[in-house]
Amino acid sequence: MAEPTIRTVRCILRHEDRFLLVMHRYTRRGRRARWGLPGGHVEARERYEDTARRELREELGVALVELREIGDYRFRGALHRVFGAEHASPILRFRRAELLKIAWRRLDEIALLRDRGLLHAGYEVQAVSDFLALGGRGPGPAKVRL
């Protein structure tokens, strides 16, 4: 059986002790929007880091110089690659054609959203925890979270 391919790329943005969550406008029919990490689908022949940069630029108008790979996380039968980055200032504006809302949350607040069933994929808490375990700096080892 073939290993699942990377379906989407997401990015953890950290400002001080908070992490950016977004609510994407487009959801599956009949499902309500939930909080998740910014990012989106990988385009044909696109490198994963390029996907992260493109999605951040499109959704948030952010151009990041340094991204670090956090790992791969399973969701709905596919893998989703997560990168992380420090951000010098909070992001307050976003592209409303793609996003309904954005919010900066502490890790404990993200865990509370998970417990209430309000996270998109459910791996967000683990990904942020992994980012913090890396000290929020330096490239991390590629790993797959189940």
DSSP string, 105-127: E-HHHHHHHHHTT-BSSS-HHHH
Q: For residues 79 and 146, is the Cβ–Cβ distance under 8 A?
A: no
Q: What are the extents of the domains in the chain?
A: 6-139
Please check whether the domain covering 6-139 is classified as CATH 3.90.79.10. Answer: yes
Q: Kindly indicate the confidence band of residue 144, based on its pLDDT and cuts at 50, 70 and 90.
A: very low
Q: For residues 26 and 11, is the Cβ–Cβ distance under 8 A?
A: no
Task: Give the Cα separation of 62 and 74 in Å (integer).
Answer: 26
Residue range 39-87, pLDDT digits in tens: 999 998 999 999 999 999 999 998 877 899 999 998 887 889 999 999 8
pTM assigned to the model: 0.86
